[in-house]
Amino acid sequence: MSDTAALLARLAADDAQQDQQRALQRLREWAQVQAPAFRRAGTLRGLGALGTVGWAAGLGWAAQLALHGQRAAVTPVSVLPAACLIAAGLALRAWLLAAGDRAADEAAAAVRHALRGRLLDTALPAWRGPTTAAQSQGGDAAFVQALDEEMDRLTDWLTGYVPARRTMLIAGGIVLAAIASGSRVVALLLVLATPLLPANLKVIGMGTRTAVHAQLAAARTLGARLLDQLRGLPTLVGLGADERAALAVEQDDRELAHRTQAVLRVAFLSTAWVELLITGTLAVVATYCGLVLLDYLHLPGIPSTMGLGTALFVLVLTPAYFAPVRELARGYHARAEASAAAELVNGLLDVAAPGQTTPRPCDTPRSVHLRGVGVTFPHRDRPALDDVTLTAHPGQVLALTGASGAGKSTLLAVAAGLLAPASGSSAHEVGDARQPADPRAVSWIGQPCHLLPGTVRENLLLARPDAQDAALDAAFATLGFADLRAALPHGLDTVVGERGSGLSSGQIQQLVFVRALLRDAPVLCLDEPTAHLDPDAEERVIAAMRTLARDRTVLLATHSPELLKIADAVVAIDRGRIRGATP
């Protein structure tokens, strides 16, 4: 058993290593889109070393003048050129670094914008096609996390690590050449210390990657659990399980804290090696300069004389030579975070089938055909739908009835093309042609109905962005909601809050029906459209449904007896199977 466990552990480690390599490869591909901009950023930052050389030379010049001032009077005019050189060097360095940072920020923003666009294209069912049952479980949360948190994790890597190598080469070359012009011995010392840097950076990368991956995994686990507990909080309180849920969240929180401490410990210890190398090299250079200045060093082949200005010049530039290496070492932490983010983002982007296009929807009436549809969600003992076959035609209202959890909402999602069945098929028929169910040909009114924060006009224009106010008013009138239009405090500019706050549930439902009419899709799917409405509001919604149903294929899931009266056919669903149909 121990040999088998060890083999499985090695296989898991190999798989993890391959995933990380794929993630790093995908990171390089994403950055390659803005490669010229990142090269420009690295070049500008590297050229900032010219400013450092300039102000260091001015500082050494001023020190030399001060030394000569012990024998002759030093006037402000005599040190003015040195002061101007210092100021010019600082200004040039600041300008070049700011220009490099701006170029890196713009390139990083472009990469993130492109990735967010690809993620949105992948997330929307109209582009990626129907989701599977497995993808629907937490898939939306993963997309939201990728669009927000994971995109932000790429920022430091894009702005810092990607241009850092070019910066290190350019800045290191400039500073080393300047040091060699002052002291070839100091330049040789720096060259001898340089080969030790790659080994230290490799150690930093290996240690940081594992720790950061573990930390991000713990953070995602805590976030997912917290979101799940908040969603089910009323149920947990009702079952008396709220204390156990709190303990589980607390345990995940402690695990995240432990992983975070491990990341900080690895970061401090790993960068300490680079700092030790830099400090040791600087100490050797300082010792050499001090011995030469005091005339204590007399070795064959080694210069034994050096001016104070030159000594100060090379001492100031020695840390500047290693500064890009420090930045690159810090960038390994950003690269590890970006690699972990890329694994999630890459998995989501792979959801979309490359080269697969969805037929463009049209306004032509279409039938909905389900044949032998089966859907099974993960971790469920029984299927949500089992061998379901039905047909709905234009101008027909097909009502689905059954107990809660019978599979009505799942059936609507399959018919709308939002959910891919595990078995069977879901198709829309236009004339004599059949095509896969297309979400862009469907208006969906579910429970609860959703209005986004903004104005009433902005919410309605989601259905038809080019609609004018006259078309919006006509939609209100067509559905008999003119009084609602007049009751809005600021008309179409009335502001609604999160989830339509500021409006009653009946008003929200009516606005959603207006939006569905503006969309003018040939298929209409309604999931409990009158739930939680008072009788007056329900009557108004039913009247609007009669108007919307003309020449459209309507699938309606409901428990309401009043809604069943307007149905042309009623299908009873029980435990995912059709148990009866009433024409």
* 313-322 tens-digit pLDDT: 999 999 899 8
Domain end among 322, 349, 376: 349
Least confident of 229-238, 423-432, 509-518: 229-238
Rounded CA separation 179/170 (Å): 14
Q: What is the CATH number of the domain that holds 333?
A: 1.20.1560.10
Q: For residue 244, what pLDDT is reported?
A: 79
Same domain? For 207 and 123 the reply is yes
Structure confidence at residue 204 (pLDDT): 61
Q: 317, 349, 381: which is the final residue of a domain?
A: 349
Overall average pLDDT of the 523-551 stretch: 80
462 shares its domain with 565: yes
Residue 361 pLDDT > 70, yes or no? no
Size of the chain in residues? 583
Pair 333, 382 in one domain:
no
What distance in Å separates the CA atoms of residue 357 and residue 354, rounded to the nearest whole number? 9
| C-alpha dist (Å) from residue 388 to 366, 374, 377, 379, 428 | 19, 7, 16, 21, 16
| Whether residue 345 sits in one domain with residue 376 | no
Q: What is the CATH number of the domain that holds 436?
A: 3.40.50.300
pLDDT of the residue at 468:
87
pLDDT digit string, tens, across residues 457-494: 888 888 888 888 888 888 888 888 888 888 888 888 88
pLDDT exceeds cutoff 50 at 419: yes
3-state SS assignment for residue 142: helix
Percent of the chain at pLDDT exceeding 70: 81
In the predicted model, is pLDDT for residue 506 greater than 60?
yes
Q: Do residue 118 and residue 214 come from a single domain?
A: yes
Inside any domain, residue 193: yes
Residues 266 and 205 in one domain: yes
Kindly state the average pLDDT of the residues 2-28: 54
Q: What percent of the chain has pLDDT over 90?
A: 9
Structural domain contains residue 26? yes
Band the pLDDT of 17: cuts 50, 70, 90.
low
Q: pLDDT band for position 354 (50/70/90)?
A: very low
Residue 442 · residue 523 · CB < 8 Å: yes
337 and 401 share one domain? no
Give the pLDDT score at 70: 55
- pLDDT number for residue 88: 92
Give pLDDT tens digits for 216-246: 777 777 777 777 777 677 776 766 777 777 8
Q: Look at residue 213 and tell me whether its pLDDT is greater than 80.
A: no
* Total number of domains constituting the chain: 2
pLDDT digits (tens, 9 = 90+) for 137-176: 445 555 566 666 677 778 888 888 889 889 989 998 999 9
Contacts 24+ apart (CB under 8 A), 575-580: 575/382, 575/386, 575/406, 575/407, 576/375, 576/382, 576/383, 576/384, 576/385, 576/386, 576/388, 576/406, 576/407, 576/410, 577/385, 577/386, 577/387, 577/388, 578/388, 578/389, 578/390, 579/402
Residue 360 lies in a domain: no
Six-digit token string for 222? 């805590």
Q: Which two structure tokens, joined as six digits, stand for 368?
A: 């909905």
Judge if 309 and 454 occupy the same domain. no
Give the global pTM: 0.63
Q: Which of 316, 349, 382 is the last residue of a domain?
A: 349
- Top-confidence residue, 238 or 568: 568
Residue 358 located in a structural domain: no
CA angle 154, 155, 159 (to 5 degrees): 120
CB 414 within 8 A of CB 437: yes
Flag whether 276 is in a domain. Answer: yes
**Confidence band of 103 (pLDDT split at 50, 70, 90):** very high
In-domain check, residue 254: yes
Tokens of 173: 């070359």
> What pLDDT sits at residue 102?
94
User: Is the distance from CB of 392 to CB of 555 less than 8 angstroms?
Assistant: yes
One domain, residues 310 and 386: no
| Winning range, highest mean pLDDT, from 111-125, 166-180, 484-498 | 166-180
Q: Which of 55-64, 144-153, 248-257 has the lowest mean pLDDT?
A: 144-153
Q: Residue 362 falls within a domain, yes or no?
A: no
Query: What is the rounded average pLDDT for all residues in the chain?
Result: 78
Do residues 61 and 193 share a domain?
A: yes
Report the 10 Å Cβ neighbour count for 35: 12
Least confident of 35-49, 123-137, 382-396: 123-137
Q: Give the Å distances, CA to CA, from 296 to 124, 287, 293, 303, 354.
A: 75, 11, 8, 11, 72
Angstrom distances, CA of residue 549 to CA of 36, 173, 467, 516, 566 = 55, 74, 21, 11, 10
Q: Is residue 356 part of a domain?
A: no
Task: Say which amino acid occupies 536.
Answer: D
What does the pLDDT read at residue 144?
A: 62
126, pLDDT greater than 60: no
Interatomic CA distance for residues 326 and 277, integer angstroms: 11
pLDDT at 132 over 60: no
13: pLDDT strictly greater than 60: no
Residues 513, 576, single domain; the answer is yes
Residue 10 has what pLDDT?
43
Query: What is the model's pLDDT at position 124?
Result: 61
Q: How far does the chain reach from its first CA to its final CA, in angstroms?
A: 62
- 174 with 299, same domain: the answer is yes
**What is the domain range of residue 544?**
367-582
- Residue written as token pair 């061998």: 387
pLDDT on residue 538: 78
Residue 131 DSSP code: B
Asked whether residue 128 carries a pLDDT value surpassing 60, the answer given is no
Average pLDDT over residues 390-397: 86
Task: Give yes or no for residue 182 having a pLDDT over 70.
Answer: yes
Rounded to 5°, angle at Cα 246 from 244 and 249:
110
